[in-house]
Amino acid sequence: MRSVIIAGAAGRMGKRLVDLVNAQPEARVAGALEHPENPALGRDAGEIAGIGTIQVPLVGSLDELVDCEADVMIDFTAPAATLANVAWATAHGVAMVIGTTGLSSDDRRQLALAAEKIPLVFAPNMSVGVNVLFKVVAEVAAILGDDFDVEILEAHHNQKKDAPSGTAVRLGEIVAQVLGRDYEKDAVFTRQGFVGARTKKEIGMQTLRAGDIVGEHLVMFGGMGERLEIIHRAHSRDNFAAGAVRAALWLEGRGPGLYDMQDVLGLKTNR
């Protein structure tokens, strides 16, 4: 039985995680964490999630979780909160599953340092389908090479704070790695006015924000006389939450290390 802390437990993703962990026979909700100014503090996390009382109050301080005997924390919050949670988890020997997006390069380095002490799964997208997308896009990019232009388009709801999405960034990084490019230099986020002809190394990154779109990602490979488009559409947040719970269970018995969903799903050939 895996004892799980849910960070951001009163948020949209957090509530789905509380529900799915509670329904999982191999896991239980051991703690529910939120921002210290959240008005729901003190309420039962199960009631907030709409599944009834589970005897786990929503708390606003990591200090209140010291005695909950957790095995793993699932974190879909914000970069600053995630880094604070990582520091706490490292100090207390608690594994982590992190789906937070918007992390900087320095933030990621801090995750890598933490992973020297605890097992940590970090992925910009926990969806099984998206992680298959990552693998397929890498294979297609390797086959098509530099003869095809690459454009990445993502669409999300109007409340999403970071852009482009972590998933889109990861797709861009995958394409750059396969084609021998530098994502930081070759990604193009804005085209306006007289920008001139597209260069061969560009990786176009386009962002849409509208309504309640859960998440859509399209990778276009455009060649002369033809184009190939690969798209993933998320219809609900349950696929992300289910992937995170799967990762939390997968971590049982794992040693320290920085893992991703490709590891969890067995999609890597070198590990």
Q: Are 4 and 70 in contact (CB under 8 A)?
A: yes
Whole-angstrom distance, CA of residue 120 vs CA of residue 86: 9
Q: Which of 156, 157, 201, 235 is catalytic?
A: 156
State how far the alpha carbon of 259 is from the alpha carbons of 45, 64, 189, 268, in Å. Answer: 28, 28, 28, 11
Q: Is 160 a catalytic residue?
A: yes
Q: Are 39 and 60 in contact (CB under 8 A)?
A: no
Return phi, psi of residue 155, to 5°: -135, 135
- How many Cβ atoms sit within 10 Å of the Cβ of residue 249? 17
- How many Cβ atoms sit within 10 Å of the Cβ of residue 56? 22
Cβ contacts of 253-257, under 8 Å, gap ≥ 24 = 254/95, 254/119, 255/119, 256/115, 256/116, 256/117, 256/118, 256/119, 256/120, 257/115, 257/119, 257/120
Q: Which of 92, 135, 160, 201 is catalytic?
A: 160
**Alpha-carbon torsion 109, 111, 114, 119, what sign?**
negative
Please state whether beta strands 226-234 and 215-223 pair in parallel, antiparallel, or not at all (unpaired): antiparallel
Q: Is 185 a catalytic residue?
A: no
* Residues forming the active site: 156, 160
